[in-house]
Amino acid sequence: DGGITQSPKYLFRKEGQNVTLSCEQNLNHDAMYWYRQDPGQGLRLIYYSQIVNDFQKGDIAEGYSVSREKKESFPLTVTSAQKNPTAFYLCASLDLLAPQSTEAFFGQGTRLTVV
Amino acid sequence: DQQVKQNSPSLSVQEGRISILNCDYTNSMFDYFLWYKKYPAEGPTFLISISSIKDKNEDGRFTVFLNKSAKHLSLHIVPSQPGDSAVYFCAASRVGSNTGKLIFGQGTTLQVKP
- Residue B42's closest chain A neighbor by CA? A108
Q: Are residues B43 and A108, on separate chains, in Cβ contact within 8 Å? A: yes
Is the confidence at residue A75, as pLDDT, over 90? yes
Is the confidence at residue A101, as pLDDT, over 60? no
- Of the two residues B21 and A16, the one the predictor is more confident about is B21
For position A99, what pLDDT does the model report? 62
Is the confidence at residue B41, as pLDDT, over 90? no
For position A102, what pLDDT does the model report? 61
- Cβ pair B84, B20 in contact under 8 A: no
Mean of pLDDT values over B85-91: 96
- Is B97 within 8 Å of chain A by CB? no
CA quadruple A68, B37, B62, A48: dihedral, nearest 10: -20
Q: Which residues of B touch A100 (CB under 8 A)?
A: 32, 49, 51, 95
- Cβ pair A79, A61 in contact under 8 A: no
What are the beta bridge partners of residue B77? B19, B62
For position B86, what pLDDT does the model report? 97
Is the confidence at residue B1, as pLDDT, over 90? no
For position A93, what pLDDT does the model report? 95
For position B9, what pLDDT does the model report? 94
- Is B10 within 8 Å of chain A by CB? no
Q: Which of A40, A44, A102 sits opposite B32 (nearest CB)?
A: A102
Q: Are residues B46 and A104, on separate chains, in Cβ contact within 8 Å? A: yes
**Shortest CA gap B9–chain A (Å):** 8
Round the average pLDDT of chain A to a whole number and report it: 92
Percent over 90 (pLDDT), chain B: 88
What is the number of alpha carbons within 13 Å of residue B41 lying toward its C-beta?
A: 6
Percent over 90 (pLDDT), chain A: 77
pLDDT band at residue A100 under the 50/70/90 scheme:
low
Is the confidence at residue A2, as pLDDT, over 80? no
B49-52 — which CB contacts under 8 Å span 24+ positions? Answer: B49/A100, B49/A102, B49/A103, B51/A100, B51/B95
Q: Which residues of A touch B104 (CB under 8 A)?
A: 35, 42-44
- Is B108 within 8 Å of chain A by CB? no
Percent over 70 (pLDDT), chain B: 100
- Name every residue in A having a CB less than 8 A away from some CB of B: 4, 6, 9, 31, 33, 35, 40-45, 48, 50, 56, 58, 88, 90, 92, 94, 96, 100-109, 111
For position A1, what pLDDT does the model report? 63
Q: Are residues B99 and A108, on separate chains, in Cβ contact within 8 Å? A: no
